[in-house]
């Protein structure tokens, strides 16, 4: 099974915008079309940014969504990158996590990550491109919502 790392912007969009492309990406995780990897630093960022958005969406059960993601994720200790790879140092933990979990993809809309292309052989793609990737690579007979 292919493992991916989800950038915070993808997770936040999936939680708070039910009709978003990011939410459809997470539907693939629920259907076991791929696995997701996280490190404690990555998940801590998810929690912090979700907490910032929660007051704007009081009806959203973000705690439940994060608890589900916590259970579904493959947890790893990140691999040190040595020097910074991204223009934004806050993005390097996602690369370190992707290396540790041997991810094939990082799913993000962050231009600081997207411009890297394929660092360490790990492709950085948008949620829309990831949905297309899922359609091309999922098991035969499975439906993408």
Mean pLDDT of the chain: 90
**Alpha carbon distance 96, 102 (integer Å):** 10
Residues 44-66: tens digit of each pLDDT: 999 999 999 999 999 999 999 99
- Res 40: pLDDT: 97
Q: Which of 120, 91, 122 is nearest to 2 (CA)?
A: 122
> Residue ranges of the domains in the chain?
3-137
Q: What is the pTM of this model?
A: 0.89
**Alpha carbon distance 40, 38 (integer Å):** 7
Lowest mean pLDDT among 5-9, 14-18, 52-56, 118-122: 118-122
> Looking at residues 107-118, what average pLDDT do you find?
91
- Res 28: pLDDT: 92
Q: What percentage of the chain exceeds 90 in pLDDT?
A: 77
User: Is the domain defined by 3-137 classed in CATH 3.40.50.1010?
Assistant: yes
Whether 19 has a pLDDT exceeding 60, the answer reads yes
- Res 144: pLDDT: 43
- Res 3: pLDDT: 95
- Res 93: pLDDT: 93
Q: Which of 25, 43, 37 is nearest to 1 (CA)?
A: 37
Contact 99, 124 (CB under 8 A): no
Q: Which of 135, 136, 113, 139 is nearest to 124 (CA)?
A: 113
């Amino acid at each position: 099974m292919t493992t991916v790392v989800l950038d915070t912007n993808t997770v936040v969009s999936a939680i708070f915008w039910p009709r978003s492309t990011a939410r459809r990406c997470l539907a693939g995780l629920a259907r076991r079309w791929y696995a997701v990897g996280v490190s404690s630093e990555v998940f801590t960022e998810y929690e912090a940014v979700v907490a910032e958005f929660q007051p704007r969406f009081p009806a959203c059960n973000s705690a439940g969504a994060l608890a589900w993601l916590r259970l579904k994720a493959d947890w790893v200790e990140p691999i040190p990158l040595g020097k910074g790879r991204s223009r934004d140092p806050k993005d390097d933990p996602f690369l370190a996590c992707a290396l540790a979990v041997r991810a094939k993809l990082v799913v993000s809309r962050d231009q600081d990550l997207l411009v890297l292309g394929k660092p360490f052989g790990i492709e950085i793609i948008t949620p829309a491109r990831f949905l297309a990737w899922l359609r091309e690579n999922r098991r035969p007979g499975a439906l993408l919502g």
